[in-house]
Copies of this chain bind each other. A is one copy, B any other.
Amino acid sequence: MATDKAALAAETWARFFEFLMRTHGQRDKVMARYGLTPNDTRALMTLDTAEGRTMRSLAAAWNCDASNATFIIDRLEKRGFVERTAKPGDRRVKLVILTPAGEKMRKRMKEGMYVPPPALLALPRATLEALRDALVAAIKETEEG
Residues of chain A whose beta carbon lies under 8 Å from any beta carbon of chain B: 5-6, 8-16, 18-20, 22-25, 63, 114-123, 125, 127-139, 141-142, 145
Contacts and interface: CB of A to CB of B under 8 A. Distances in A.
B142 A123 contact: no
Q: Report which residue of A10, A123, A133, A135 has the largest number of chain B beta carbons within 10 angstroms of its beta carbon.
A: A135
B118 A141 contact: yes
Contact of A132 (B8, B120, B129, B145): B8
Contacts of A6: 116, 121
B145 A114 contact: no
15 contacts: A5-B125, A6-B116, A6-B121, A8-B132, A9-B120, A12-B131, A14-B114, A18-B135, A19-B139, A23-B142, A119-B138, A123-B134, A123-B141, A130-B134, A131-B134
A24 B23 CA distance: 18
Given A18-B135, A117-B142, A131-B138, 13 more contacts: A9-B121, A11-B132, A14-B114, A15-B132, A15-B135, A16-B16, A16-B20, A19-B139, A20-B20, A22-B142, A24-B63, A130-B133, A131-B134
Contacts of A145: 118-119, 122
A33 to B, nearest CB: 17
The 9 closest A-B pairs by CB, nearest first: A119-B141, A131-B134, A15-B135, A9-B116, A13-B116, A12-B132, A130-B130, A22-B142, A119-B142
